[in-house]
Structure 1
Protein backbone atom coordinates (compact mmCIF):
# COMPACT_ATOMS: atom_id res chain seq x y z
CA UNK A 1 0.00 0.00 0.00
CA UNK A 2 1.32 3.43 -0.86
CA UNK A 3 1.50 5.83 2.12
CA UNK A 4 -0.83 8.32 0.43
CA UNK A 5 -3.53 5.75 -0.42
CA UNK A 6 -6.63 6.12 1.73
CA UNK A 7 -7.84 2.75 3.10
CA UNK A 8 -11.34 1.73 2.04
CA UNK A 9 -14.41 2.14 4.23
CA UNK A 10 -16.65 -0.79 5.18
CA UNK A 11 -20.18 -0.31 3.89
CA UNK A 12 -23.16 -2.60 4.49
CA UNK A 13 -25.05 -3.36 1.28
CA UNK A 14 -28.24 -5.17 0.39
CA UNK A 15 -27.59 -8.24 -1.73
CA UNK A 16 -30.30 -8.52 -4.38
CA UNK A 17 -32.22 -11.77 -4.36
CA UNK A 18 -32.04 -13.92 -7.44
CA UNK A 19 -35.44 -15.24 -8.55
CA UNK A 20 -33.94 -18.34 -10.23
CA UNK A 21 -31.99 -19.27 -7.09
CA UNK A 22 -35.16 -18.89 -5.02
CA UNK A 23 -37.03 -21.20 -7.36
CA UNK A 24 -34.29 -23.85 -7.22
CA UNK A 25 -34.11 -23.71 -3.41
CA UNK A 26 -37.91 -23.66 -2.95
CA UNK A 27 -38.39 -27.46 -2.68
CA UNK A 28 -35.74 -27.67 0.04
CA UNK A 29 -37.26 -24.72 1.86
CA UNK A 30 -40.72 -26.33 1.70
CA UNK A 31 -39.41 -29.65 3.03
CA UNK A 32 -37.48 -27.98 5.85
CA UNK A 33 -40.50 -25.88 6.81
CA UNK A 34 -42.63 -29.02 7.10
CA UNK A 35 -40.02 -30.31 9.58
CA UNK A 36 -40.32 -27.03 11.57
CA UNK A 37 -37.05 -25.64 10.24
CA UNK A 38 -38.14 -22.68 8.17
CA UNK A 39 -35.45 -21.89 5.61
CA UNK A 40 -35.35 -18.17 4.99
CA UNK A 41 -31.74 -17.05 4.83
CA UNK A 42 -30.89 -13.41 5.26
CA UNK A 43 -27.79 -12.01 3.65
CA UNK A 44 -25.10 -9.88 5.24
CA UNK A 45 -23.08 -8.03 2.64
CA UNK A 46 -20.25 -5.77 3.74
CA UNK A 47 -18.28 -4.05 1.00
CA UNK A 48 -14.91 -2.38 1.15
CA UNK A 49 -15.57 0.87 -0.66
CA UNK A 50 -13.00 3.39 -1.72
CA UNK A 51 -12.48 6.03 -4.32
CA UNK A 52 -12.98 3.49 -7.13
CA UNK A 53 -16.10 1.86 -5.65
CA UNK A 54 -16.43 -1.65 -4.20
CA UNK A 55 -13.09 -3.41 -3.78
CA UNK A 56 -13.58 -6.63 -1.79
CA UNK A 57 -15.67 -7.40 1.26
CA UNK A 58 -17.71 -10.12 2.94
CA UNK A 59 -20.87 -12.02 2.01
CA UNK A 60 -22.60 -14.24 4.57
CA UNK A 61 -25.95 -15.92 5.10
CA UNK A 62 -27.84 -16.05 8.39
CA UNK A 63 -30.18 -18.96 8.96
CA UNK A 64 -31.01 -21.52 11.63
CA UNK A 65 -29.23 -19.44 14.28
CA UNK A 66 -25.88 -19.59 12.48
CA UNK A 67 -23.94 -17.33 10.17
CA UNK A 68 -22.18 -18.90 7.19
CA UNK A 69 -19.41 -16.72 5.78
CA UNK A 70 -19.43 -17.48 2.06
CA UNK A 71 -16.87 -14.94 0.85
CA UNK A 72 -14.21 -12.85 2.56
CA UNK A 73 -11.94 -11.00 0.15
CA UNK A 74 -9.46 -8.25 0.94
CA UNK A 75 -7.28 -7.09 -1.97
CA UNK A 76 -3.56 -7.61 -1.43
CA UNK A 77 -2.88 -3.86 -1.31
CA UNK A 78 -5.23 -3.51 1.71
CA UNK A 79 -3.90 -6.50 3.67
CA UNK A 80 -2.19 -5.89 6.98
CA UNK A 81 -4.59 -3.08 7.96
CA UNK A 82 -6.98 -5.28 9.96
CA UNK A 83 -9.77 -4.98 7.38
CA UNK A 84 -10.45 -8.74 7.25
CA UNK A 85 -10.74 -8.86 11.03
CA UNK A 86 -13.02 -5.78 11.00
CA UNK A 87 -15.26 -7.29 8.31
CA UNK A 88 -15.65 -10.56 10.23
CA UNK A 89 -16.24 -8.81 13.57
CA UNK A 90 -18.86 -6.53 12.05
CA UNK A 91 -20.61 -9.52 10.44
CA UNK A 92 -20.45 -11.42 13.75
CA UNK A 93 -22.04 -8.46 15.56
CA UNK A 94 -24.83 -8.36 12.97
CA UNK A 95 -25.32 -12.13 13.36
CA UNK A 96 -25.55 -11.89 17.15
CA UNK A 97 -28.05 -9.04 16.83
CA UNK A 98 -30.09 -11.30 14.52
CA UNK A 99 -30.07 -14.09 17.14
CA UNK A 100 -27.25 -16.28 15.83
CA UNK A 101 -25.17 -18.23 18.33
CA UNK A 102 -22.49 -19.51 15.97
CA UNK A 103 -20.62 -18.86 12.74
CA UNK A 104 -18.90 -21.15 10.28
CA UNK A 105 -16.68 -20.73 7.28
CA UNK A 106 -14.55 -22.87 5.01
CA UNK A 107 -11.20 -22.03 3.49
CA UNK A 108 -8.29 -23.85 1.92
CA UNK A 109 -4.93 -24.86 3.37
CA UNK A 110 -3.25 -22.54 0.84
CA UNK A 111 -5.47 -19.56 1.70
CA UNK A 112 -6.24 -18.37 5.21
CA UNK A 113 -6.64 -21.03 7.92
CA UNK A 114 -4.24 -19.11 10.20
CA UNK A 115 -6.36 -15.98 9.89
CA UNK A 116 -9.51 -17.75 11.10
CA UNK A 117 -7.64 -19.49 13.93
CA UNK A 118 -6.21 -16.12 15.05
CA UNK A 119 -9.71 -14.64 15.37
CA UNK A 120 -11.10 -17.52 17.42
CA UNK A 121 -12.40 -20.01 14.86
CA UNK A 122 -11.70 -23.71 15.44
CA UNK A 123 -11.48 -26.43 12.81
CA UNK A 124 -14.24 -29.02 12.79
CA UNK A 125 -13.54 -30.82 9.54
CA UNK A 126 -11.17 -31.30 6.64
CA UNK A 127 -11.63 -32.48 3.09
CA UNK A 128 -8.31 -33.88 1.82
CA UNK A 129 -6.99 -33.40 -1.72
CA UNK A 130 -9.34 -30.50 -2.46
CA UNK A 131 -7.56 -29.35 -4.54
CA UNK A 132 -5.04 -32.14 -4.97
CA UNK A 133 -2.29 -31.87 -2.37
CA UNK A 134 -4.26 -29.33 -0.32
CA UNK A 135 -7.24 -29.39 2.05
CA UNK A 136 -10.55 -27.62 2.37
CA UNK A 137 -10.87 -26.76 6.06
CA UNK A 138 -14.10 -26.01 7.91
CA UNK A 139 -14.09 -23.68 10.92
CA UNK A 140 -16.70 -22.66 13.48
CA UNK A 141 -16.95 -20.15 16.29
CA UNK A 142 -19.41 -19.63 19.13
CA UNK A 143 -20.77 -16.09 19.02
CA UNK A 144 -21.90 -15.73 22.63
CA UNK A 145 -19.43 -12.96 23.44
CA UNK A 146 -18.66 -11.08 20.25
CA UNK A 147 -16.75 -7.84 20.91
CA UNK A 148 -18.26 -4.71 19.36
CA UNK A 149 -17.30 -4.01 15.77
CA UNK A 150 -14.33 -1.69 15.37
CA UNK A 151 -14.94 1.73 13.86
CA UNK A 152 -14.50 2.04 10.11
CA UNK A 153 -10.89 2.40 8.94
CA UNK A 154 -9.41 1.61 12.36
CA UNK A 155 -5.87 0.28 12.06
Structure 2
Protein backbone atom coordinates (compact mmCIF):
# COMPACT_ATOMS: atom_id res chain seq x y z
CA UNK A 1 0.00 0.00 0.00
CA UNK A 2 1.33 3.43 -0.93
CA UNK A 3 2.19 5.91 1.76
CA UNK A 4 2.00 9.70 1.86
CA UNK A 5 4.60 11.21 4.18
CA UNK A 6 3.88 14.76 5.30
CA UNK A 7 5.85 17.32 7.30
CA UNK A 8 4.65 20.04 9.59
CA UNK A 9 7.17 22.61 10.76
CA UNK A 10 8.51 26.11 10.46
CA UNK A 11 11.57 27.10 8.41
CA UNK A 12 14.72 25.64 9.90
CA UNK A 13 12.93 22.78 11.65
CA UNK A 14 14.69 20.11 9.59
CA UNK A 15 12.02 19.15 7.06
CA UNK A 16 14.38 18.82 4.10
CA UNK A 17 17.04 16.91 6.04
CA UNK A 18 14.47 14.42 7.33
CA UNK A 19 12.71 14.20 3.96
CA UNK A 20 15.94 13.24 2.21
CA UNK A 21 16.63 10.55 4.80
CA UNK A 22 13.11 9.13 4.63
CA UNK A 23 13.13 9.19 0.82
CA UNK A 24 16.08 6.80 0.84
CA UNK A 25 14.62 4.59 3.57
CA UNK A 26 11.15 4.29 2.02
CA UNK A 27 11.92 4.52 -1.72
CA UNK A 28 9.62 7.53 -1.84
CA UNK A 29 9.46 10.26 -4.45
CA UNK A 30 10.25 13.53 -2.68
CA UNK A 31 8.29 16.56 -3.88
CA UNK A 32 9.80 19.79 -2.56
CA UNK A 33 8.16 23.05 -3.71
CA UNK A 34 11.14 25.17 -2.64
CA UNK A 35 13.53 23.17 -4.82
CA UNK A 36 11.20 23.22 -7.82
CA UNK A 37 10.71 26.97 -7.47
CA UNK A 38 14.45 27.60 -7.15
CA UNK A 39 15.16 25.43 -10.20
CA UNK A 40 12.58 27.44 -12.17
CA UNK A 41 14.06 30.76 -10.94
CA UNK A 42 10.84 31.66 -9.10
CA UNK A 43 11.10 33.87 -6.03
CA UNK A 44 10.39 31.61 -3.05
CA UNK A 45 8.24 34.37 -1.52
CA UNK A 46 6.00 34.65 -4.63
CA UNK A 47 2.82 33.31 -3.04
CA UNK A 48 0.80 33.19 -6.27
CA UNK A 49 3.37 31.08 -8.08
CA UNK A 50 4.03 29.01 -4.94
CA UNK A 51 0.35 28.08 -4.83
CA UNK A 52 0.53 26.94 -8.46
CA UNK A 53 3.70 24.91 -7.93
CA UNK A 54 2.28 23.29 -4.80
CA UNK A 55 -0.96 22.43 -6.62
CA UNK A 56 0.95 20.85 -9.52
CA UNK A 57 3.17 18.87 -7.16
CA UNK A 58 0.15 17.66 -5.21
CA UNK A 59 -1.51 16.58 -8.48
CA UNK A 60 1.65 14.63 -9.34
CA UNK A 61 1.79 13.22 -5.81
CA UNK A 62 -1.76 11.92 -6.04
CA UNK A 63 -1.00 10.27 -9.39
CA UNK A 64 2.05 8.58 -7.87
CA UNK A 65 0.04 7.36 -4.87
CA UNK A 66 -2.55 5.92 -7.25
CA UNK A 67 0.26 3.96 -8.91
CA UNK A 68 1.35 2.57 -5.53
CA UNK A 69 4.38 4.82 -5.12
CA UNK A 70 5.34 6.27 -1.73
CA UNK A 71 5.34 10.07 -1.81
CA UNK A 72 6.98 12.66 0.42
CA UNK A 73 5.28 16.03 0.19
CA UNK A 74 7.75 18.50 1.62
CA UNK A 75 5.46 21.45 2.31
CA UNK A 76 5.47 23.08 5.74
CA UNK A 77 1.71 22.51 6.16
CA UNK A 78 1.26 25.32 8.67
CA UNK A 79 -2.54 25.06 8.85
CA UNK A 80 -4.80 22.30 10.11
CA UNK A 81 -6.93 22.63 6.97
CA UNK A 82 -3.95 21.95 4.69
CA UNK A 83 -3.04 18.86 6.68
CA UNK A 84 -6.64 17.61 6.81
CA UNK A 85 -7.03 18.09 3.06
CA UNK A 86 -3.85 16.17 2.20
CA UNK A 87 -4.66 13.36 4.65
CA UNK A 88 -8.22 13.06 3.37
CA UNK A 89 -7.14 13.03 -0.30
CA UNK A 90 -4.53 10.33 0.38
CA UNK A 91 -7.01 8.20 2.33
CA UNK A 92 -9.51 8.49 -0.54
CA UNK A 93 -6.80 7.06 -2.80
CA UNK A 94 -6.27 4.15 -0.40
CA UNK A 95 -2.88 5.36 0.84
CA UNK A 96 -1.55 5.29 4.38
CA UNK A 97 -0.62 8.65 5.86
CA UNK A 98 2.41 9.51 7.96
CA UNK A 99 2.90 12.87 9.67
CA UNK A 100 6.20 14.18 10.99
CA UNK A 101 5.76 17.20 13.23
CA UNK A 102 9.05 19.01 13.75
CA UNK A 103 8.60 20.91 17.01
CA UNK A 104 11.72 23.06 17.41
CA UNK A 105 12.09 26.05 19.78
CA UNK A 106 12.25 29.47 18.12
CA UNK A 107 15.82 30.21 19.24
CA UNK A 108 17.06 26.93 17.80
CA UNK A 109 15.17 27.57 14.56
CA UNK A 110 16.84 30.96 14.28
CA UNK A 111 20.30 29.48 14.86
CA UNK A 112 19.71 26.88 12.16
CA UNK A 113 18.40 29.54 9.77
CA UNK A 114 21.43 31.77 10.41
CA UNK A 115 23.70 28.82 9.59
CA UNK A 116 21.67 28.05 6.48
CA UNK A 117 21.65 31.72 5.43
CA UNK A 118 25.45 31.79 5.71
CA UNK A 119 25.83 28.62 3.64
CA UNK A 120 23.85 29.93 0.66
CA UNK A 121 22.35 26.47 0.18
CA UNK A 122 20.25 25.80 -2.92
CA UNK A 123 16.50 26.49 -2.63
CA UNK A 124 16.84 28.66 0.46
CA UNK A 125 16.34 32.35 1.05
CA UNK A 126 17.53 34.45 3.96
CA UNK A 127 14.94 34.65 6.72
CA UNK A 128 15.11 37.20 9.51
CA UNK A 129 14.11 36.72 13.13
CA UNK A 130 11.24 39.16 12.54
CA UNK A 131 9.93 36.98 9.69
CA UNK A 132 10.30 33.82 11.75
CA UNK A 133 8.41 35.35 14.67
CA UNK A 134 5.64 36.42 12.27
CA UNK A 135 5.46 32.89 10.83
CA UNK A 136 5.30 31.35 14.31
CA UNK A 137 2.20 33.43 15.10
CA UNK A 138 0.23 32.05 12.13
CA UNK A 139 1.54 28.49 12.46
CA UNK A 140 -1.11 26.05 13.71
CA UNK A 141 0.71 23.28 15.58
CA UNK A 142 -1.00 19.89 15.46
CA UNK A 143 -2.33 18.51 18.73
CA UNK A 144 -2.52 14.88 19.84
CA UNK A 145 -6.06 14.46 18.54
CA UNK A 146 -5.07 15.61 15.07
CA UNK A 147 -1.93 13.48 15.01
CA UNK A 148 -4.03 10.43 15.95
CA UNK A 149 -5.91 10.80 12.64
CA UNK A 150 -2.82 9.74 10.66
CA UNK A 151 -1.81 6.11 10.10
CA UNK A 152 1.45 7.05 11.82
CA UNK A 153 2.59 10.26 13.50
CA UNK A 154 6.02 11.16 14.84
CA UNK A 155 6.93 14.27 16.83
CA UNK A 156 10.57 15.33 16.47
Same fold (TM over 0.5): no
TM-score by length of 2: 0.29
Higher helix share: 2
Higher strand share: 1
TM-score by length of 1: 0.29
